[in-house]
Amino acid sequence: PTQDEIEYALNIIDQHIYIIDEAQFKGGLTVPRFLELGQELVKTHGVDCLVGDPFNAFQGAYGSTEGTGADALNAVFTDIQRFCVDYNCSVLFAPHPSGKGYNGQKDITELIQLNYGAIWGNKLHVGLLLSRIEGTATNGYGDDVSFMVRKVKRRNEGKLGEGTMSYCWATGRFGIPASGTSSARFESFVPNFQ
């Protein structure tokens, strides 16, 4: 990118993205505190989407000493749904499955394979699974990424499907390679910031 493009991108980030770090979570990173900070950002800056990544880092999201992990996750998602309606704000979480339960397992291809998957499958409005396809980097691309849309609650939110995207190191963007070519050209890029 040119210097002008870099400055434009940094300006967009400065005006539209607010990063909340661990220092702002007095008493620990919890979903209720995340939603409180989100509420402040909606009111003061007009934020319309919160992203929690990784979800596994939120304390108590999968349970505590009382009840089951499924009960805790269900309660968390109920609070999130209420927040989304009350503040007209989307909430995105990125669970990063890892640990003994996933070691040696093939890629996760269904929401039900996540911890307490029935809750993820039933409570979400949109469920999107991403997986890096290791060893596919060629011609200046990074590894390909498979994407699978496994849940769409409303028609205007998208549709079910799956595909593969490649990463271009030169542009730092994901795209769909042009069919029938091995050159570093894309038919389309995701996202398109024009």
Digit-coded pLDDT (tens) for 48-88: 899 988 888 888 887 765 667 888 888 899 999 999 999 99
- pLDDT level of residue 141 (50, 70, 90 thresholds): low
Report pLDDT for 166. 80
Report pLDDT for 78. 93
Q: Which two tokens stand for residue 162?
A: 């799956």
58, 73 in Cβ contact below 8 A? no
Fill in the DSSP letter of residue 107. P
Question: Does 30 have pLDDT greater than 70?
Answer: yes
- pLDDT level of residue 139 (50, 70, 90 thresholds): low
Radius of gyration of the chain (CA): 19
- Amino acid at the residue 154: R
